[in-house]
Amino acid sequence: MSEKDVGGVVVREFDAERDCYGVEMVERRCEVGPSGKMSLFTDLMGDPVCRVRHSPAFLMLVAEMGEEKEIVGLIRGCIKTVTCGEKLSRNGKNAAENNVPLPIYTKLAYILGLRVSPSHRRMGIGLKLVSRMEDWFRDKGAEYSYMATDKDNEASVNLFTDRCGYAKFRTPSILVQPVFAHRVRIPSRVNIFRLSPSEAENLYRRRFSTTEFFPRDIDSVLNNNLSLGTFLAVSSSQSFPGLDQFLANPPESWAVLSIWNSKEVFRLEVRGASRFKKGLAKTSRFVDRVFQCLRIPSVPELFRPFGLHFLYGLGGEGPDSVSLTRALCGFAHNMAKESGCGVVATEVACCEPLRLGIPHWKRLSCAEDLWCMKRLGEDYSDGALGDWTKSLPGPSIFVDPREF
């Protein structure tokens, strides 16, 4: 993408050979969190595009000013094809094949990592970065664009909703659980099986392809080297006879989730905590370590860089699906402990039925993340769906780990 000078600001494509230091400085000046409170710093481990490079198509832009060409802003974007609704099949060979929900796909763009240096805000730089990124989205045929932000981030919300034409769309929850010094006990009444990537793909396409935001290239996600596996939980009285038989005659209750190794992509660090809070956290870890038999919850070392595992593709059915989900989350916690992670996180719809089975700490979680969406053009035909931005939320969403 060629350079463009707009009002003294040059917006151009990121150049890894000359921009890494400038981008890092902007990131450090833009710690996430309300003023005066603890903030969350994200360390991209020297690779500014690592959070989007696993997507089918991605771009990073920077904004620079002055004779010294100081980088004062940046933005990342990616594009993929996802489910935006469903329709009923009318071409089945028999009655059983009719009225089967089929996914409606759309080409969706995602904006993340918009940053503007505090000293250069209120100059229209954020708007220029968003506009240039949207131009690229349209050139690539994207039909919708969305972004996620903290609902209390007034500057970000106002930029996108008031100036860029985005509408508030979904309010999922980010649920975060610390990784304790002790392992979580998995109930003996639960059997957990690991699925191969091909089995996991088959299960997700058969059971979850009509879930909102389901990625059409789920095979690329599951076969990515950052995907640590997909795990299926059933009661101890059940075995796993193979996926075909499982799908043909599933047990009364089951649950599934996949694990993504975000630790290899970025590290997080909580900054701005008082000495008192740090002291309480250190004391909780000491007590937890000394008296592991008591299984006292502790606060991990979050005030230095730490990694996380992200849980995605959560789903299940049956009266015991919540308890089976809780067992899977415990299993994921133990994997994260072995990998040296500080937390396990996931993101689910606010009315997700399995939410009760996902352990989390409210202090570390976000009850209402805000997703805003914009239709990029009126010339696109969405068939039976209409305008996705005006659709009502469903009970579940499929959160792509490549974008977390």
Going by their DSSP bridges, the two strands 369-375 and 101-116 should be labelled as unpaired
Rounded CA-CA distance 322/333 in Å is: 17
Integer Rg of the chain from CA: 22
Mention every residue, 6+ apart, whose C-beta is less than 8 A from residue 357.
255, 321, 322, 323, 324, 325, 326, 329
Residue with structure tokens 């050979």? 17
Distance, CA of 400 to CA of 404 (rounded, Å)? 7
Averaged confidence pLDDT in the chain: 89
| Predicted local confidence at residue 36, as pLDDT | 39
| Number of independent structural domains in the chain | 2
Q: Which helix (H) or strand (E) holds 96?
A: none
Q: Is residue 389 part of a domain?
A: no
Q: 385: pLDDT confidence band, cut at 50, 70 and 90?
A: low
pLDDT bucket at 293, cuts 50 / 70 / 90: confident
8-state DSSP, 162: I
> Do 269 and 153 reside in the same domain of the chain?
no
**What does residue 366 show for φ and ψ, rounded to 5 degrees?**
-125, 110
SS (H, E, C) 30-62: CCECCCCCCEEEEECCCCCCCCCCCCCEEEEEE
Amino acid found at 91: N
| Contact between 81 and 107 (Cβ < 8 Å) | yes
What is the pLDDT, as a whole number, of residue 302?
Answer: 85
| HSE-up (13 A, CA, CB side) for residue 179 | 22
Give the residue numbers spanning the domain of 227: 175-357
Same domain, 233 and 258: yes
Rounded average pLDDT over 280-302 = 79
Give the model's pLDDT for residue 31.
Answer: 66
**Would the pLDDT of 2 be above 80?**
no
pLDDT score, position 39: 60
Do 9 and 131 lie in a common domain?
Answer: yes
Q: Which two tokens stand for residue 74?
A: 């940046």
**Burial of residue 321 (number of CB atoms within 10 Å: 0-12, 13-18, 19+):** buried
Determine the average pLDDT of the residues in 306-330: 97
Q: Which residue has the higher pLDDT, 301 or 73?
A: 73
Q: Which residue would you say has higher pLDDT here, 180 or 381?
A: 180
Predicted pLDDT at 34? 44
Q: Would you say residue 254 has pLDDT above 70? A: yes
Classify the phi-psi angles of 69: left when phi > 0, otherwise alpha if psi is within -120 to 50, otherwise beta. left
Instruction: Give this prediction's pTM.
Output: 0.90
218: enclosing H helix or E strand: helix 218-222
Q: Residue 287 is part of a domain; what is its CATH number?
A: 3.40.630
User: Using one digit for the tens of pLDDT, what is the confidence trace for 18-65?
Assistant: 999 999 889 888 765 544 344 667 777 667 888 788 899 999 999 999
- Looking at residue 37, its pLDDT comes to 47
Residue-level pLDDT at 4: 59
Does residue 63 share a domain with residue 29?
A: yes
**Per the domain annotation, does 258 fall within a domain?**
yes
**Residue 246 to residue 191: CA distance in whole angstroms:** 14
Q: What is the pLDDT of residue 386?
A: 76
Task: Say whether both 300 and 352 belong to one domain.
Answer: yes
Distance separating alpha carbons of residues 264 and 309, to the nearest angstrom: 9
User: Is 365 a member of any domain?
Assistant: no
> pLDDT tens digits, residue range 110-167?
999 899 998 898 899 999 999 999 999 999 999 999 999 988 888 899 999 999 999 9
**Do 181 and 160 have their domain in common?**
no
* Phi, psi angles (nearest 5°) of residue 101: -65, 135
The answer to whether residue 188 sits within a structural domain is yes
Nearest to 300 by CA among 318, 322, 285: 285
- CATH number for the domain including 45? 3.40.630.30
| pLDDT for position 35 | 40
Whether 220 and 329 share a structural domain: yes
Asked if residue 393 belongs to a domain, the reply is: no
What confidence tens digit (pLDDT) does each residue in 261-273 have?
999 988 888 877 8
As a whole number of angstroms, the distance between CA 319 and CA 325 comes to: 11
